[in-house]
Amino acid sequence: GAVVSQHPSRVICKSGTSVKIECRSLDFQATTMFWYRQFPKQSLMLMATSNEGSKATYEQGVEKDKFLINHASLTLSTLTVTSAHPEDSSFYICSAMGLAGSISYNEQFFGPGTRLTVL
Amino acid sequence: GNSVTQMEGPVTLSEEAFLTINCTYTATGYPSLFWYVQYPGEGLQLLLKATKADDKGSNKGFEATYRKETTSFHLEKGSVQVSDSAVYFCALSVGNKLVFGAGTILRVKS
């Protein structure tokens, strides 16, 4: 099956610093990747959609200058939280859809998530 | 707008009990409907889906039927196991975008 990994699984940083989270598709080419944010006991909220080689499309209310998304290759997307503050503490989840040879994956495959804590 | 409402948890059941997790939706157009499961420490996995009215999705003993008249997609299983303990998310898709419910924690006791 299609596997998506995220790194790191947990990160703690000081307020004002930037944090980069990686999302990788391990056995398929991720033509589209999605980034979600999940608050405790709440739903996943879509932050942005990115297609390989293109700029990300951000959902309404998501600051694109704060949450920088790069999807430079078919297997890697990164989310950088710039000048992080305690209110950015959350669980960040990525997903991907794409191709493996002649097989087209029309469903999203999810990474295990990254827990960000900003002190 | 598009939204999904699912029953609050946690739901605690004994092994072999019958499970129902309610899910209703609001959507413009004709969405596809999904149930995802998240086991501890793992990413979300697609459990089942239905793409049009009256379709029934099923997998691993779980079932859900797309009911357009009641805008519902309730998840059911006849006999739960301890290994079914997880968080269950109902979701709809419009195009490639998924809209999730808040998730329901299921705990199954032996």
Q: Can you state the percent helix, strand and coil of chain A, rounding each to 5?
A: 5, 60, 35
What average pLDDT score do residues A58-71 get? 94
Q: How many CB contacts within 8 angstroms connect chain A with chain B? A: 41
Residue A106: pLDDT band with limits 50, 70, 90? confident
Residue A60: pLDDT band with limits 50, 70, 90? very high
**What chain B residue is nearest to A92 in terms of C-alpha separation?**
B43
Lowest mean pLDDT among A87-96, A105-114, B5-14: A105-114
Residue A32, pLDDT above cutoff 80: yes
Inter-chain residue contact B98 with A108, CB threshold 8 Å: yes
Q: What region does A118 belong to: left with phi over 0, alpha with psi -120 to 50, or beta?
A: beta
Residue B42, pLDDT above cutoff 90: no
Residue B52, pLDDT above cutoff 90: yes
What are the chain A neighbours of B102 within 8 Å (beta carbons)? 41-43
A104: tokens are 């087209």
Inter-chain residue contact A112 with B101, CB threshold 8 Å: no
Q: Which residues contact A102 (CB under 8 A, 6 or more apart)?
A: none
Contact yes or no for B49/B63 (Cβ under 8 A):
no
A4: contact with B, CB 8 A cutoff: yes
